Amino acid sequence: MKQFFYLFLCILLMAGIFSCDRKRVFESYYELDKKGWHKDSVVVFNLTLTDTIKNNNLYLNIRNKGTYAYSNLWLFLTIGSPDGAIRTDTVEFTLAEPSGKWKGSGVGGLHDNHILYKKSVYFPHKGNYTFSIKQGMRDNVLEGIRDIGIRIEKTY
């Protein structure tokens, strides 16, 4: 009886883990150079989107070390769509509170931020989209940002 209970508990736990991310359409991270993110380095995510009906939320995922020198991060984000249209945006993300406390979840000096970039975005064309991200800070080589990622979620 006890073994059945533990088996049932494990199955329930696994079902919860695998079903809690049903909103995800796309998610990927890019690990930056350990020496830093050069101002001319562009991180590119290529993805194919097929749902032209539902709206989506766009998130940027940023992992920074506790040694990152700033409380914010400026990024240049370019989105290319299958019809050839290109949209470029300059965005600022706050990674630390005014007190200096890092935002996001953190383990061992690494802080993970899942930040909403655009809410309820509609992708009108099926096909390949390109998301290009470039750091917009004034440093030639920006130290302390470890990974940059993108996530697209259904809004339901």
Residue 66 CB neighbours (<10 A):
12
- Report pLDDT for 106: 83
- The answer to the question of residue 75 being in a domain is yes
Place of tokens 């991310």: 21
Give the pLDDT of the chain (156 residues) as one tens digit per residue. Answer: 555 545 544 454 454 455 567 889 999 999 999 999 999 999 999 999 999 899 999 999 999 999 999 999 999 999 999 999 999 999 999 999 999 999 999 877 899 999 999 999 999 999 999 999 999 999 999 999 999 999 999 998
pTM comes to 0.83
- The answer to the question of residue 17 being in a domain is no
- Report pLDDT for 103: 93
Contact between 93 and 8 (Cβ < 8 Å) = no
- The answer to the question of residue 130 being in a domain is yes
- The answer to the question of residue 41 being in a domain is yes
- The answer to the question of residue 18 being in a domain is no
- The answer to the question of residue 38 being in a domain is yes
In CATH, what number is assigned to the domain containing residue 100?
Answer: 2.60.120
If we measure between CA atoms, which residue out of 73, 65, 66 comes closest to residue 146?
Answer: 65
Distance of CA 135 to the CA centre of its chain: 14
Sign (positive/negative) of CA torsion 26, 36, 114, 17?
A: positive
- The answer to the question of residue 10 being in a domain is no
If we measure between CA atoms, which residue out of 42, 53, 57, 48 comes closest to residue 129?
Answer: 48
Which residues constitute the domain of residue 53? Answer: 24-154
Q: In the chain, how many domains are there?
A: 1
- The answer to the question of residue 143 being in a domain is yes
